Structure 1
Amino acid sequence: MGLEDYLRDKNESGANDSWLNNIPIPKYKQPVYIIIIFIVLYVIVFVLCILGNLVVCYIIARTATLRDVTHSFILNLAVSDLLVGVFCIPFTLVGHIFTENNLGDVMCKVSPMLQGMSVATSVFTLTAIAFDRYCLIVHPTRDRLTVRQAVYLIIAILVVAAIIMSPQSIVRRDQSFQIGQLTLSVCGEFWPSPLLRKAYSAFLFVIRYAAPVLINTFPYGRTGIKLWMSKSAAAPKACSNQTEQRSRIIKMMVIIVAVFAITWMPLYSCWLLEDFGQLNNSQSEILHSYIYPVARVMAFANSAVDPFIYGFYSSNLRSRVADICRLQKTKTNVEARNNNNAEKTLDIVRKPRSFQVNLPDNRNMPEVANE
């Protein structure tokens, strides 16, 4: 049971509780040293998430050779991860540190909804990539998705993700509670009944986590077997660069799905434990103050790790990053050389400060007779 449900039940029943009535409500949920640890972790994940996904978005958008179906999906993943870094990580950290909501009603609704949309978009996009790779390798004679069709599919994924997360904009709000002489503002989910909340949590767990992860095992399993059999049947020299590149992309996507499953598992476990575990007030306080912040930073770390997986397994992205670095280094060297040449030119043409000519004294020269 969340803090918002506990406070609402207390206000409706009028029951006394020593946790709220006998001691003042603290401003922070954790001790200072725990808060510092949380801040450091969230800042590291935030910086890596923003920088890494910005680089991926920039490279794919500016490189014509990367404007294919697979990289269109990867661009969608990077944009989703970037939205998590901008709209979710900072506000989630603030919400985990302070007992009272300091972000207002708008961010109370927007931040969790964007986080949920990003997760749904990412996992549905991973599934689309899995089946696109499956059709390309296992059924190469079939027509592939075009870039235009991939864009339409991405738009459909975004619409479906928004529909799935739309209840969040209805049940989440900032609500004030009167605790003695104090008014406590809490951001939470206020469902009409506990049964609806449990049903929605189970639905999200299945549609955004369990089902996509299980479904992805089929196309990647079949694709991996097909690639392995192709390499085993052919001579080493017959293995083309295209086959090797496809194999690297399959490994990259399998690792991305595995990292997603591992990093998001603790947070989904916390949600299920909160809704179905029948926790008492003390256990719920520990869950919200200490376990949730760690579980969420692990989930956010998925958005920070993805760009580095792209760069490690995608030779196109890695070579493009190297080209940009070399270009920037060359540009810097050229500018420095031009500046040095300009300074030398100025030294040559600069007018001297003083110019003195020692002429002989006419008084000491012999007189010349006029002819």
Structure 2
Amino acid sequence: MNFSDHSVHECPTMESTGLEDYIPDMNETGLNDSLVENIPIPKYKQSMYIIVIFVVIYVVVFLLCIVGNLVVCCIIARTATLRDVTHSFILNLAVSDLLVGVFCIPFTLVGHIFTENYLGDVMCKLSPMLQGMSVATSVFTLTAIAFDRYCVIVHPTRDRLTVRQAVYLIIAIWVVAAIIMSPQAFVRRDESFQIGELTLSVCGEFWPSPLLRKAYSAFLFVVCYAAPVLINTFLYGRTGFKLWMTKSAAAPKACSNQTEQRSRIIKMMVIIVAVFAITWMPLYCCWLLEDFGQLTHSQSEILHNYIYPIAHVMAFANSAVDPFIYGLYSSNLRSRVTEICGKQKTKGNPLARNNNNAEKRTPAIVHKPQSFPMDIPGVAAN
């Protein structure tokens, strides 16, 4: 499966590289070579108005993704109290989302705008593979968190994961994700096509057979989307039911802070899983539609030039939204952000800094209580 665009399919022919979108009905009309040479191939896939809209949306998502996930990574890395199992997994999610922002968003945008590949063979292989690894890592990490919460709440007598074990599990997740996405490095490459006097470079997938491409697409859909979403739904359903039963059986004042904190974490992770399922569904539908659907030329052109860019930016928006969900539901992260912002504000404000220093240096002054007039019989007032 192509994690940037399925514009190139199983064999390196002109009809399978997406060029048929710009030379319509080439085989049906029986155009000869001289006519093909005279057909201009546009530099851009969309009009300038549409390109500007795509660029603005992608830039906004890119900035939110980079800034938000950098903040989450720095806070968790610098705060000793956040170095637990759950926040180790959240840190891994932030790192994978950060990789999506750095290596996938800008290069995917360029690929959607220009007809020709300007990124070279290295990025043709690297960008889709890194995106696939990040997505697989994210969904596997979400499943690991769901399983950890399930064991802690539903089976509290079992030994829970330690931080060291969580780190080993994170490393294993990245290794498995790399193995799953490794075919991208072999089937994707930059190919040059000679059309008259014009040489056109195209980045795409070149599979030995259509059957292998379809089998790999179906495999990724099941392993990296359908199965994890179903497993997470089951685990959080059982965990949420257990929490609800615990609260219902206890008196109102007996609900401990630990139970409330667990409930808040469950809500946060359920929302993250739901957002992942919703934002990535359109892109998976596009991949499956192209691999298994019988699309006409006009339908394929609309899919590549307009639907794919929208589906991709929706998927990338998942990486930009996650940090804000962390901040909304994690009181530890939110309080830490407030604390850091307060320190930076004080550091940049000399007056506030001087006031704070003065408060620290000034000893407490005990005022003598004022005397009140007293009318005592037999005593004349002075």
Shorter-chain TM-score bucket reads 0.7 to 0.9
Question: Can you list the C-alpha shifts for 1:71-122, whole angstroms capped at 9, x where unaligned?
Answer: 0000000000000000000000000000000000000000000000000000
Aligned to 1:55: 71
Aligned pair in 2 of structure 1 residues 195, 17: CA closer, same or farther (>3 Å)?
farther
1:348 maps to which residue?
none
Query: Of 265, 272, 284, which residue of structure 1 is paired with 2:288?
Result: 272
Indicate the residue corresponding to 1:24 in structure 2.
Answer: 40
Distance 1:203 1:30, change over 3 A: same
2: distance between equivalents of 1:69 and 1:26? 52
User: Is 1:309 matched up with 2:325?
Assistant: yes
What stretches of structure 2 of length at least 5 have no aligned partner? 17-25, 358-382
Question: Which whole-Å deviations, capped at 9, do the CAs of 1:259-284 have from their partners, x for residues lacking one?
Answer: 00000000000000010012122221
Q: What is the aligned residue count?
A: 339
CA contact (8 A) 1:84 1:114 kept: yes
2:137 corresponds in structure 1 to: 121
1:107 and 2:123 correspond: yes
Counterpart check, 1:8 vs 2:9: no
Q: Any conservation in 2 of the 1:175–1:187 contact (CA below 8 Å)? A: yes
Percent identity reads: 83
2:349 is paired with a residue whose SS is helix
Alignment partner of 1:240 out of 256, 259, 267: 256
CA contact 2:11–2:206 (8 Å) conserved in 1: no
Out of 18-27 and 72-81, give the one that drifted further: 18-27
CA-based RMSD: 2.1
Say whether 1:323 aligns with 2:339.
yes
State the partner residue of 1:36.
52
What SS does structure 2 have at the residue aligned with 1:111? helix
Secondary structure of 2:348's aligned partner: helix
Q: Does 1:229 align with 2:245?
A: yes
Residue of structure 2 equivalent to 1:350:
none
Q: Distance in 1 between matches of 2:6 and 2:38?
A: 21
Identify the residue that residue 253 of structure 1 maps to in structure 2.
269
Give the counterpart letter for 1:165 in structure 2: M
Q: By how many angstroms is 1:217 displaced? A: 1.3
| Aligned-pair CA distance for 1:336 | 7.3
Cα 1:159–1:2 change in 2 (3 A) is: closer
Give unpaired runs (5+ residues) of structure 1. Answer: 342-371
Following the alignment from structure 2 to structure 1, what is the Cα–Cα distance between the partners of residues 198 and 89? Answer: 50
Letter aligned with residue 8 of structure 2? E
Matches within 5 A, 1:1-371: 2-5=6-9, 8-10=12-14, 15=27, 16=30, 23-334=39-350
Aligned twin of 1:360: none
Letter in 1 for 2:242: K
Tell me the amino acid that sits aligned with residue 201 of structure 1: S
* Residues 280, 315 of structure 2: 8 Å contact kept: yes
Q: Secondary structure in 2 aligned to 1:100?
A: coil
Moved more, 233-242 or 325-334: 325-334
Q: Name the SS of the counterpart of 2:42 in structure 1.
A: coil
TM score, norm. by length of structure 2: 0.85
CA deviations on 1:221-273 (whole Å, 9 max, x unpaired) are 11100100011111111001110000000000000000000000000000000
Aligned partner letter, 2:289: L
TM-score, with structure 1 as normaliser: 0.87
Describe the SS at the equivalent of 1:219.
helix
Q: Deviation per CA, 1:114-133: give whole Å up to 9, x if none.
A: 00000000000000000000
Larger radius of gyration: 1
The one-letter amino acid paired with 1:4 is: V
AA aligned opposite 2:12: R
Q: CA deviation at 1:20?
A: 5.5
> In structure 2, do the counterparts of structure 1 residues 7 and 142 end up closer, same or farther at CA, with 3 Å as the change threshold?
closer
DSSP 3-state at the match of 1:8: coil
Deviation at 1:327, TM superposition (A): 1.0
Question: In the aligned structure 1, how far is the partner of 2:12 from the partner of 2:295?
Answer: 16
Q: Which amino acid aligns with 2:127?
A: S
Task: Detail structure 1 runs of 4+ shifted over 6 Å in the superposition.
Answer: none
The range that moved more, 214-223 or 98-107, is 214-223
Deviations 1:198-227 (A, max 9, x none): 000000000000000001111101110010
Kept after mapping to 2: 8 A contact 1:2/1:284? no
